């Protein structure tokens, strides 16, 4: 790897160093994508015996974080998916009796999704599988490495999702 000396800004770097920076940025971007795809694949493999996948897992986790339930529109936004995609996921989970869709008496147009008690056991299993995969993925990394990587990823996420 090239030896890059510390600079206060990209504009102060020489053309060589800017080229090195661009190479590292490209590699980091590709690595983030690779990790995301590998995580999805591995989680899907582990969830398959339960009739779930990463997408249904994410719905359950979001609803667990919001025990009062979420309007379907808000849930779709939190998951970064379109409403028709969410409806298909909710149909699967409702068929398993893990979620329930309700409306408010004051506004029948607003549909809420809430977890059922039956989902709680599944969530324990899902969290155990997720925890095991995270441990495998980060095996051998020090607390400092994990902390540094988390800070970097958080900064990048905040630039893409400023809310």
Measured CA to CA, the distance from residue 43 to residue 53 in angstroms comes to 7
Number of H helices, E strands in the chain: 6, 3
pLDDT at res. 15: 59
Distance CA 75, CA 92 (A): 15
Rg (CA), the chain: 21
Q: How far apart are CA 18 and CA 100, in angstroms?
A: 53
SS3 139: coil
Per-residue pLDDT of the chain (163 residues; tens, 9 = 90+): 444 444 454 455 565 677 799 999 999 999 999 999 999 999 999 999 988 899 999 999 999 999 888 999 999 999 999 999 999 999 999 999 999 998 877 777 788 899 999 998 889 989 999 999 999 999 999 999 999 999 999 999 999 987 6
Give SS3 for 113: strand
What pLDDT does 120 receive?
86
Q: CA angle, corner 143, sides to 141 and 144, nearest 5? A: 95
| Three-class DSSP category at 60 | helix
């Amino acid at each position: 790897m090239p030896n890059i000396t510390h600079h206060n800004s990209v504009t102060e770097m020489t053309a060589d160093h800017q080229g090195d920076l661009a190479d590292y940025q490209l590699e980091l971007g590709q690595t983030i994508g690779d990790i995301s795809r590998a995580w999805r694949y591995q989680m899907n493999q582990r969830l398959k015996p339960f009739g779930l996948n990463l997408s249904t897992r994410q719905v359950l986790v979001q609803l667990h974080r919001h025990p009062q339930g979420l309007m379907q529109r808000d849930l779709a936004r939190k998951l970064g998916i379109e409403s028709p995609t969410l409806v298909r996921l909710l149909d699967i989970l409702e068929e398993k009796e893990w979620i329930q869709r309700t409306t408010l008496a004051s506004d029948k147009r607003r549909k809420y999704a809430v977890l059922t008690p039956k989902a709680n056991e599944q969530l324990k299993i899902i969290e155990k599988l997720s925890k095991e995969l995270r441990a495998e993925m980060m095996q051998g990394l020090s607390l400092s490495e994990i902390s540094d990587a988390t800070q970097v990823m958080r900064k990048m996420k905040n630039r893409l999702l400023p809310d």
